[in-house]
Structure 1
């Protein structure tokens, strides 16, 4: 099965987010199908979360595994800051 244009777009945005997260000291592993990022803090091995990317009428958005939106995919730096904030306040 080959990837659809929508999956390529998801992977593109998730790759940009992964770069931003890694610059902030987090680990981000791309799950290929369906495309999503497994995000973890290397200092806290048990702390991990999954973020995917979904199209909506206003554009593409990063989304937590529980369905809440993280932020616009056009601003991966802001989304990475929000993810770091949420992960750092969970423990």
Structure 2
């Protein structure tokens, strides 16, 4: 927990909240998304370009020593979870049909 501007502790955000926030940003960019909740595994965000369904990816969010980060399925960082617009732009660019 971290203090907010009132001096009280802000509640910790969950993986689902981070994924839903990224999902909303990606929908605004024209992507289709769905949160997946596999049994016994961390949730992920399945993202698909509706113009080319083969262009799809599963995005993860993990907390490390330096905060929460969005990750590609191939274990490469996308952007800090605090920079949801940056993350959404990068994902949309990688999944672009042109």
Moved segments of 4+, more than 6 Å: none
Q: Which runs of 5+ in 2 are unaligned?
A: 1-11
Greater Cα radius of gyration, structure 1 or 2? 2
| 1:27-78 Cα deviation digits (max 9, x unpaired) | 1110023210010011111111010000011100000000000001011111
What TM-score does the superposition give when structure 1 sets the normalisation length? 0.85
What TM-score does the superposition give when structure 2 sets the normalisation length? 0.79
How many residues are treated as equivalent by the alignment? 84
Q: Which has the higher helix share?
A: 1
Match of 1:25 in 2: 30
User: Given the alignment, which residue of 34, 46, 57 partners 1:49?
Assistant: 57
Q: Which runs of 5+ in 1 are unaligned?
A: 1-5
Aligned-residue Cα RMSD (Å) equals: 1.7
Match of 1:87 in 2: 95
Match of 1:15 in 2: 20
